[in-house]
Structure 1
Amino acid sequence: MQYTKHEAKAHARETMWGIWAAALNPFHADGSFDEAGLRHNIRHWIDDLQIQGLFIAGKQGEFWSMSLDERKRNMTVAAEECGGKAGTIMSISDQNVDTVLELGLHAQDCGADYVVVHAPMLSFCHDRDEVLYNYYKYLCDRLDIGIAMWSHPDSGYLMEPETCARIADLPNIMAIKYSVPREIYARLSRMVGDKILVSTSSEDEWLDNIEELGWQLYLCSSPPYQLQTANDLRMHEYTQLAFAGKFDEARRVRNSLDPVREAIRGTKPGGKPTAHGKYWQELLGQVGGHVRHPMLEMTDAEKAATRAAFESCGLKL
């Protein structure tokens, strides 16, 4: 690791800039992990799309369907491919805290830059503040790597801004992926100031968050490699314009991507977001692959509708 536990906050503020994408994991038809396919995608994302960092082994990557050894290998492959060219934040989320720690130690050993830990599901628990603080403190006491919080409705609740701000005082808590309504994450952002990086996965709100909240980090989902090609880097372009303070110009570029956004949203079948994302990747020339159970594959008709929308959305291939 390139920093100590107590340097994690400062290191993150120096190194976590711009667009970080959440990687979908390609799987073969027999369900096995397509390691070569992921390597191919990572090279494209970094070399051609100029994505600055990758979120690995998260929900987009179907981590819950993978064995412990597969999750470790997923991290190692990404660390190898990103080393020296892009940052990595590895999801070590799990309900079993020993699994979280085992994955965290592996992330430290394989060259990851940071890890992210989803807020756990909590049954029969109404006063969550102390439970969540002690959960993250337990992990911080045992890991040296920088740890990002992650709050999402999938936990069955949302972490309160006050709880997040309290946890942010722990030495190696350096960020949060806060998948909550904008008024909630804006409140946390103002509460913690420069203490930790606050981000969310909504690409629709990314430009506004740079301008209005002073954000430096998009953390993260699949739009960075679904809205862009090697010949069409409009998300990267509007991000750089916004960082330069050219917000009117940035907004024009951002808005020009609306037909692409609508093509994706308008063809995504209910219950099949992962398969749809992977098929869109294939249309872009990336490796998409199959999904694992219990996720559903797309039908031929759904693929045909998606292809028609893709071909008319205006992306330059």
Structure 2
Amino acid sequence: MSTLTTSQRFGGIYAATICPLLPDGAIDEPVLEQHLRSVAQADGMTGLLVNGHAGENFMLSRDEKRRVVEIARAVCPKDAVLICGINAEDSLEAQRHVEDAEAAGADAVLIFPPFSWGLSQDAEVALRHHRIATETSALPLFLYQAGVRAGTMAYTLDVLERLARMPNVIGIKEGSWETSAYEAHQRLVQRVAPQVLMMASGDEHLFSCFALGTAGSQVSLACVVPEFITGLYRAMQDGDLPAARAWNHRIYPLAKAVYGTAPGGHASARLKTCLKLLGRIPDDRMRAPMGPLPAQEVEMLRNALKAAGLL
């Protein structure tokens, strides 16, 4: 049995990966293999978050999600930590997906709040969903703190406290997308469950949130510029503010183009287009109803990649 602490094993930078598709909409497995392998092998990368929002987990079938984990486990370095996103409205369906992830080789799961919670949510429902989803699995659990503009998908302080106290919770992908909210949640968790890893994961706000303190990050921008994200993280961990500012200066235009431009729902498509523009994937198609990005958005992304020194 490993003697590594939770922080040593699960802390650090994770790239939330995309899912390349063929013209008929099926997963392009060879391209997916190359994408996962190259990102996981990036210097300073702890592991991958597969089947996250960037990986279109809300569009993939149960079998496809399991297959993504199987491929990741097969092609990534043995010491790469694999976290599998779980996104299901039905708690028992979420449980089946957790079981699939464990059987396919995931090291932990990240449970996203169901999209229906954007309309209504309460503490008992949230707790029950996480308990049912994980009660048949030994995998450790990451929570997802949704953005402040995500309606009631974002947990209140009371709900977050109760979730963080669950015995199988080891970390939180903190995506509040607001620095003040991040600090409030960080202070709360440090008080009520200090063993839980708070991971600043709002791609537009990494510099400021890293400055407040973080155990790592799980961000989709790291699947495009892994060296930028790990560089920023290392600089902040080392207290090298000039280096951190330099990394942030390169991250900023890309983060604003992908995430800070309306409509926000285009973010995953923009990530794929960036990877296509960089020659890393051959096709940037998405599952319907998301179609090709407008020409002006593609040009915006091209300019952002140039500004970041990538083209």
Normalising to structure 2: TM-score of the pair?
Answer: 0.85
1:187 paired to 2:181: no
Distance 2:293 2:300 in 1: 11
Per the alignment, residue 218 of structure 2 pairs with 219
The one-letter code matched in structure 1 to 2:207 is L
Match of 2:131 among 130, 137, 149: 137
Correspondence 1:254 to 2:243: no
Aligned to 2:158: 162
The reply on whether 1:151 has 2:135 as its aligned counterpart is no
Superposition CA RMSD, Å: 2.8
**CA distance 1:197–1:277, change in 2 (3 Å):** same
Contact 2:254 2:301 in 1 (8 A): no
Q: In structure 2, how many angstroms separate the alpha carbons of the residues matched to 1:182 and 1:47?
A: 30
SS at match of 2:307: coil
Equivalent of residue 238 in structure 2, options 230, 244, 249: 244
Percent of aligned pairs with the same amino acid: 22
CA contact (8 A) 2:204 2:259 kept: no
Question: Within 1, Cα distance between the matches of 2:165 and 2:83?
Answer: 20
User: For 1:248 and 1:50, how far apart are their aligned partners in 2?
Assistant: 19
Q: What SS does the aligned partner of 2:172 have?
A: strand
Query: How far apart in 1 are the matches of 2:160 and 2:277?
Result: 39
Give the distance between the partners of 2:31 and 2:45, measured in 1 at CA: 18
Distance in 2 between residues matched to 1:109 and 1:182, nearest whole Å: 37
Q: Which residues of structure 2 form unaligned runs of 5+?
A: none
Give the 3-state SS of the residue equivalent to 1:198 in structure 2.
strand
Is the counterpart of residue 202 in structure 1 residue 202 in structure 2? yes
273, 298, 310: which one pairs with 2:293?
298
Superposed CA deviations along residues 44-64 of structure 1, whole A, max 9, x for unmatched, are 212245432211112111122
After the TM superposition, which of the residue ranges 43-52 and 105-114 deviates more from structure 2? 43-52
- 1:75 positional shift: 1.4
Q: Look up the match of 2:16.
A: 22
Aligned-partner residue type, residue 223 of structure 2: Y
Amino acid in the other structure paired with 1:84: K
After superposition, what is the alpha-carbon deviation per residue over 1:153-175, rounded to whole angstroms, capped at 9, x for unaligned?
55743211221122222211111
**Cα distance change, pair 238–49 in 1 and its aligned pair in 2 (3 A):** same
Pairing partner for 2:174 from 173, 178, 183: 178
Q: Say if 2:222 and 2:228, in contact at 8 Å, map to a contact too.
A: no
Listed as ranges, the matches of 1:41-56 within 5 Å are 41-48=35-42, 50-56=44-50
Cα deviation for residue 42 of structure 1 reads 1.4
Higher mean C-alpha displacement, 269-278 vs 186-195: 269-278
- The one of 20, 31, 54 aligned to 2:25: 31
Q: Is the 8 A contact 1:227 1:260 kept in 2?
A: no
SS for the counterpart of 1:44 is helix
Partners of 2:301 and 2:188 lie apart in 1 by 42
The letter for the 1-side match of 2:162 is R
C-alpha displacement at 1:145, in angstroms?
0.5
Write the distance in 1 (CA, Å) between the matches of 2:82 and 2:24: 28
Residues 304 and 170 of structure 1, relative CA distance in 2, 3 Å threshold: closer
Counterpart Cα distance in 1 of 2:117 and 2:81: 31
Any conservation in 1 of the 2:18–2:55 contact (CA below 8 Å)? Answer: yes
Question: CA separation of 1:300/1:46 partners in 2, compared to 1, >3 Å: closer, same or farther?
Answer: same
Q: For the structure 1 residues 206 and 260, does the alpha-carbon distance in structure 2 shift closer, same or farther, using more than 3 Å as the test?
A: closer
Q: Evaluate the alpha carbon distance shift between residue 116 and residue 269 of structure 1 in structure 2; reply closer, same or farther with a 3 A threshold.
A: closer
Number of residues paired by the alignment?
303
- Residue 87 of structure 1 aligns to which amino acid in structure 2? V
The separation in 2 between residues aligned to 1:30 and 1:135, in whole angstroms, is: 34
* 2:135 aligned counterpart, secondary structure: helix
Residues 257, 133 of structure 1: alpha-carbon distance in 2 compared, 3 angstrom cutoff:
closer
Q: What CA distance in whole angstroms lies between the structure 2 residues aligned with 1:205 and 1:266?
A: 11
Change (3 A) 1:160 1:241: same
Instruction: Tell me, in whole angstroms, the C-alpha distance in 2 between the residues paired with 1:192 and 1:276.
Output: 33
- What's the offset of the Cα at 1:13? 1.7
Q: Distance in 1 between matches of 2:30 and 2:132?
A: 36
Q: Tell me the secondary structure at the aligned position of residue 58 of structure 1.
A: coil
CA distance in 2, matches of 1:259, 1:130: 41
Equivalent residue in structure 2 for 1:289, among 278, 284, 290: 284
In the TM superposition, what whole-angstrom CA distance separates every residue of 1:131-185 from its partner, at most 9, and x where no partner exists? Answer: 2222223334332111111232557432112211222222111112232233223
What SS does the corresponding residue of 1:255 show, helix, strand or coil?
Answer: helix
Task: Pick which of 96-105 and 46-55 moved more.
Answer: 46-55
